[in-house]
C-alpha cells in the first residue's frame, strides 16, 4: 500500500503527452481519471482504448495535446497476444462466458501458420459484440449485456505483420502490427473459427502506439511519485512528438498571422507531393499549428492552432 503522507500536489497547466504502462484490471477511463486528480489538469484524453485485461502503451494527452489525439489514435499499433485454442467465449477473451469447447489436439504450428495467411494484409473484420462500437446510438456492449441480438458490420483493417513467436498447445503467442480499429479479440476468435477448434484472447500487451513504444511507458506509481515530487516535467513528451514523421515548415510573421486568424494560405515552396498534413513552427521554433492541404484551393488550412505556453 502506498503512503498517503505526500507533499500536496500543485495545480499546474500541462501541454504534452505521458506514456502510461497500463496495468491489468484498469480501464483506460480510470487511468485518465487518476491522472486528472494527480495533475489538476482538466483537459486530458487517452489515445486508443485498451480493454481492462490488456496492458501496455497508453498515451495520455494533456492540455493542448488533446487536440492531436486523433492523429495518435489513427496511427498503427503493435501487440503481443496470447491466444488459447479450444475455448470460445462470447466476449472473445478470457473474461467472457464460455460458449463452446473443442479439443485442439490435432492443431499443428504448420496449420496455424497457414491459417494466419488469411489475416495478413487488408481484411474485413467484424468487431466483438462486447465492444464500444455504436449501434442505433447505443454502445454495442450495452446491448450485448442486455441480451439484445447484435449484428455489427465488418470494417476494413490492415494487418502488416502477424508472426508466431511461440506455440505450446493450447497457447499461441503472436506479434501483430496493425492499423487503427483492429480488434485483437476478433482476430483470436476468427483464427479459432478458421482452425475449427475455436479460440479466445487470453492476454494482450500493446507494445507500440504510433512512435511510442513500451520502452517509453511508465507505471502509474512512478508517475504519481513524479507529480508529488514536482518532477513530472521530465516525463512529458512534447505535444508535436507524434507528428515528427510529417514535413515541418517554418513560417514568417505574415503567415503566422494568417494561421492564428484561421486563414488559408499558399506556399509555393511547400506544395505537397502526397502529404495531407504538415506541422508549422514560428520563427522562434514554437509549435504553431497542424496544417491541412486543400487541393481544390491549392492552399494550406490551419486545422489545429496552438497558443504559446
The per-residue pLDDT for 243 is: 95
Same domain, 165 and 254: no
The CATH number given to whatever domain includes residue 26 is 3.30.2350.10
Question: Is 104 in the same domain as 187?
Answer: yes
In the predicted structure, residue 152 carries a pLDDT above the cut 60:
yes
For residue 147, pLDDT over 80 is answered with no
Domain boundary among 133, 167, 198: 198
Q: Determine the Cα–Cα distance for residues 172 and 92; give it in Å rounded to an integer.
A: 15
CB 57 within 8 A of CB 214: yes
Domain-located, residue 157: yes
Question: Is the model's pLDDT at 64 over the cut of 70?
Answer: yes
* Residue at 2 is within a domain: no
Q: Which residues contact 4 (CB under 8 A, 6 or more apart)?
A: none
Q: What average pLDDT does the chain have? A: 89
Q: Output the pLDDT for position 9.
A: 47
Q: Is 36 exposed, middle or buried (0-12, 13-18, 19+ CB in 10 A)?
A: middle
Report the percent of the chain where pLDDT is more than 70: 87
**β pairing state of 155-168 and 121-125:** antiparallel
Give me the residue label for grid cell 499546474.
Answer: 12
Task: Answer whether residue 131 shows pLDDT above 80.
Answer: no
Please state the rounded mean pLDDT for residues 47-63. Answer: 95
Q: What is the pLDDT of residues 229-250, one digit of tens each?
A: 999 999 999 999 999 999 999 9
| 276 or 206, which is more confident | 206
Interacting residues of 182 by C-beta distance below 8 A, sequence separation 6+: 77, 125, 157, 158, 159, 176
b/e map of 189-200 (b: 16 or more CB within 10 Å)?
bbbbebbebbbb
C-alpha cell, 58: 497508453
Here the CATH number for the domain that contains residue 294 is 2.30.130.10
91 found inside a domain: no
pLDDT > 70? residue 158: yes
58 lies in some domain? yes
pLDDT digits (tens, 9 = 90+) for 190-227: 999 999 999 999 999 999 999 999 999 999 999 999 99
Phi, psi of 227, rounded to the nearest 5 degrees: -70, -40
pLDDT tens digits, one per residue of 6-53: 444 455 578 999 999 999 999 999 999 999 999 999 999 999 889 999
* CA distance linking residue 183 with residue 174, whole number of Å: 14
Average pLDDT over residues 132-157: 67
Pair 118, 108: CB distance under 8 Å: no
**pLDDT tier at 275, thresholds 50, 70, 90:** confident
Closest to 105 measured CA to CA, from 195, 193, 188, 200 = 195
Do residues 266 and 78 make contact, with C-beta atoms less than 8 angstroms apart? no
Mean pLDDT, residues 153-176 taken together: 95
Q: Return the pLDDT at 259.
A: 95
pLDDT, mean of residues 132-142: 62
Given a cut of 80, whether residue 306 has pLDDT beyond it is: yes
- pLDDT tens-digit readout, 94-118: 999 999 999 999 999 999 999 999 9
* Residue 162, Cβ density class (10 Å: 0-12 exposed, 13-18 middle, ≥19 buried): buried
Give the count of beta carbons closer than 10 Å to the beta carbon of residue 263.
Answer: 12
| Residue 181 pLDDT > 60 | yes
Phi-psi region of 136 (alpha: psi -120 to 50; beta: other; left: phi over 0): left
- For 156, residues 6+ apart whose C-beta sits below 8 A from its C-beta are 122, 123, 124, 125
| Residues with catalytic roles | 51
Could you tell me the residue range of the domain that residue 40 belongs to?
A: 16-75+211-241
Residue 35 lies in a domain: yes
Residues 81/157, Cβ–Cβ less than 8 Å: no
Amino acid at each position: 500500500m502506498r503512503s498517503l503522507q505526500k507533499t500536496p500536489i500543485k495545480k499546474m497547466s500541462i501541454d504534452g503527452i505521458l506514456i502510461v504502462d497500463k496495468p491489468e484490471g484498469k480501464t483506460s477511463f480510470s487511468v485518465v481519471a487518476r491522472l486528472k486528480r494527480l495533475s489538476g489538469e482538466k483537459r486530458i484524453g487517452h489515445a486508443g482504448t485498451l480493454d481492462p485485461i490488456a496492458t501496455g502503451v497508453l498515451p495520455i494527452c494533456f492540455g493542448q495535446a488533446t487536440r492531436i489525439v486523433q492523429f495518435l489514435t489513427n496511427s498503427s499499433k503493435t501487440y503481443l497476444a496470447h491466444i488459447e485454442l479450444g475455448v470460445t467465449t462470447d466476449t472473445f477473451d478470457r473474461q467472457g462466458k464460455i460458449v463452446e469447447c473443442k479439443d485442439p489436439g490435432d492443431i499443428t504450428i504448420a496449420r496455424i501458420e497457414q491459417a494466419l495467411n488469411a489475416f495478413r494484409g487488408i481484411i474485413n473484420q467484424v468487431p466483438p459484440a462486447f465492444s464500444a462500437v455504436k449501434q442505433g446510438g447505443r454502445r454495442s456492449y450495452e446491448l450485448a449485456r442486455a441480451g439484445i441480438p447484435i449484428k455489427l458490420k465488418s470494417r476494413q483493417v490492415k494487418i502488416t505483420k502477424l508472426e508466431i513467436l511461440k506455440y505450446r498447445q493450447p497457447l499461441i503467442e503472436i506479434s501483430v502490427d496493425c492499423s487503427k480499429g483492429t480488434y485483437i479479440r476478433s482476430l483470436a476468435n476468427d483464427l479459432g473459427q478458421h482452425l475449427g477448434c475455436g479460440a479466445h484472447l487470453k492476454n494482450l500487451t500493446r507494445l507500440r502506439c504510433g512512435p511510442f513504444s513500451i520502452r517509453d511507458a511508465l507505471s502509474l506509481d512512478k508517475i504519481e511519485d513524479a507529480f508529488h515530487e514536482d518532477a513530472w516535467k521530465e516525463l512529458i513528451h512534447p505535444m508535436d512528438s507524434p507528428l515528427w514523421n510529417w514535413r515541418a515548415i517554418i513560417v514568417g510573421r505574415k503567415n503566422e498571422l494568417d494561421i492564428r486568424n484561421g486563414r488559408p494560405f499558399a506556399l509555393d515552396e511547400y506544395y505537397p507531393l502526397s502529404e495531407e498534413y504538415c506541422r508549422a513552427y514560428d520563427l522562434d521554433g514554437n509549435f504553431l499549428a497542424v496544417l491541412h492541404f486543400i487541393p481544390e484551393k491549392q492552399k494550406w488550412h490551419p486545422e489545429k492552432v496552438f497558443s504559446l505556453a
